[in-house]
Structure 1
Amino acid sequence: MRLVIARCSVDYTGRLNAHLPLATRLLVHKGDGSLLVHSDGGSYKPLNWMSPPCSLATEEPGEEEAGAGVVEVWRVTHKKTGDALRVQIYEVLHDSSHELGVDPGLVKDGVEADLQRLLAEQVELIGEGLSLVRREFPTAIGPVDLLLRDPAGGTIAVEVKRRGDIDGVEQLTRYLELLGRDPHLAPVRGVFAAQEIKPQAKVLATDRGIRCVTLDYDGMKGVASGVPTLF
């Protein structure tokens, strides 16, 4: 990764045109070829950027540009669209390169796998007397997060999400259709469980006879007391 702090102006040409007038900015040129132009504000969001696949080439400034004080020009071109990001550099204040290596990726607390594991250990949050048949119960279109046995008869398929939306309800609906064909599992009821469930997803789930459960992740970890809210 190359980090350059420079007084520069930036022009984007292609499907849209945009101009950043002369100012001091941070230019981040990553190993994947992308270029990001940052100011000292705006949080994580760059002022402009070019995503890969793209390539960076340096150019000598034209006579008029050199007369205006431009010392170097960067042109970053997208290999598929031809869009270009042209950076006119007037002064370089800092220039350094760093080998970061392969990043292992972000490990999040409270991801779906954690919720699934905790809920498998606390199936009473779904209902009294239930027992776990299996996590990741296989179907022809993918595994159901949890399959529970109801002592009153039948089974319960549970789909676990951090944030529940319509796509998750649709996914559970397809699982229920397949599982319901198995006489050893039928009747099969559905539960859509998430830390947060969007209103549209609740409406769709209710319409399809699927119960929604809002999970208190901290409570499940024992950080704070809490019980699921049923809808």
Structure 2
Amino acid sequence: MRVLICRCAVDYDGRLEAHLPEADRLVLVKADGSVSIHADDRAYKPLNWMTPPCTLRETTGDDLTEADRELGVRQLWTVENPKKERLTIRIFEVYQDVSRELGEDPGLVKDGVEAHLQELLAAQIEILGEGYTLVRREYPTAIGPVDILSRDSEGGSVAVEIKRRGGIDGVEQLTRYVELLNRDELLAPVQGVFAAQEIKPQARTLAEDRGFRCVVLDYQAMRGLEPTELRLF
């Protein structure tokens, strides 16, 4: 991972155009090739980013255009992906530039309920719909394992992200998995299912906007336990 704290301006050209004016920011370059630009707020969400596969080209010194040199640009980073989307980062001052290999990450360890939900849903995959079949739990990808990979009644691939309480971060996680899996010709097209005991309204809206189906899981019923709410004894 490379961590760059700098003063920069950023332009994105692709499906739309976006501009970040000159300011102090954090730029992260990860081993998978992704590049993201962060402000000192907004929690984990970057201001702009480019997901892999993409290429990063650095231009400095005499290779900079005269216009950039006149603006005080010291480094020009150009990040492009195969779709011809481009992220241009003009760096005016570098405060810190650190690179370090983090090694292989063991991944997220789910809490007991999420892990059990995954196990139960894999064993009762028909909850997702009639004709569904299980391909594999913890299906490996370059950015971590997908909770469940299944096939629908027509043989289409379906990636399932499971949460105890489903929030926007879970939808973003599913989005990354589906985008990556859709690059595999043997799996594409891949649909997404966001499954949780409870799905927050904002997460449901985002998931459905991205074409994902939301499924609310009844943990007690999946465990084979009868509901106790209406019992007197």
TM-score of the pair, normalised by structure 2: 0.54
Identity %: 48
- Superposition map of 1:79-158 within 5 A: 80-115=82-117, 136=123, 141-142=132-133
Task: Classify 1:72/1:108 alpha carbon distance in 2 versus 1 (closer, same or farther; 3 Å).
Answer: same
Task: Classify 1:214/1:4 alpha carbon distance in 2 versus 1 (closer, same or farther; 3 Å).
Answer: same
Q: Find the residue that maps to 1:52 and give its secondary structure.
A: coil
How many angstroms apart in 2 are the aligned matches of 1:198 and 1:93? 40
Task: Classify 1:40/1:138 alpha carbon distance in 2 versus 1 (closer, same or farther; 3 Å).
Answer: closer
Q: Find the residue that maps to 1:23 and give its secondary structure.
A: strand
Cα distance per residue 1:68-94 (max 9 Å; x no partner): 21111000001x211100000000000
Q: Find the residue that maps to 1:65 and give its secondary structure.
A: helix
Aligned residues: 149
User: Given the alignment of the two structures, is residue 67 of structure 1 paired with residue 54 of structure 2, yes or no?
Assistant: no
Q: How many angstroms does 1:63 deviate by?
A: 0.8
Cα distance per residue 1:144-189 (max 9 Å; x no partner): xxxxxxxxxxxxxxxxx75699xxxxxxxxxxxxxxxxxxxxxxxx
How many angstroms apart in 1 are the aligned matches of 2:3 and 2:218? 47
Q: Structure 2 unaligned runs (5+)?
A: 135-161, 167-195, 205-216
Q: Structure 1 unaligned runs (5+)?
A: 120-134, 144-160, 166-193, 201-211, 221-226
How many angstroms apart in 1 are the aligned matches of 2:93 and 2:76? 11
Q: How many angstroms does 1:195 deviate by?
A: 3.3
Q: How many angstroms does 1:34 deviate by?
A: 0.9
How many angstroms apart in 2 are the aligned matches of 1:34 and 1:86? 14
Name which one, 1 or 2, has greater alpha-carbon Rg. 1
Q: Find the residue that maps to 1:33 and give its secondary structure.
A: coil
Tell me if structure 1 keeps the 8 A contact 2:113–2:164: no
Q: Find the residue that maps to 1:96 and give its secondary structure.
A: strand
Cα distance per residue 1:40-71 (max 9 Å; x no partner): 01111000001111000012321121112111
How many angstroms apart in 1 are the aligned matches of 2:12 and 2:19? 6
Task: Classify 1:214/1:73 alpha carbon distance in 2 versus 1 (closer, same or farther; 3 Å).
Answer: same
Q: Find the residue that maps to 1:91 and give its secondary structure.
A: strand
The letter of the residue matching 2:45 is K
Cα distance per residue 1:4-55 (max 9 Å; x no partner): 0010000001221100000000000111111000000111100000111100
Cα RMSD of the aligned pairs, angstroms, is 3.7
Could you say which residue in structure 1 is the equivalent of 2:39?
39
TM-score of the pair, normalised by structure 1: 0.54
Q: Find the residue that maps to 1:67 and give its secondary structure.
A: helix
Q: Find the residue that maps to 2:67 and give its secondary structure.
A: helix
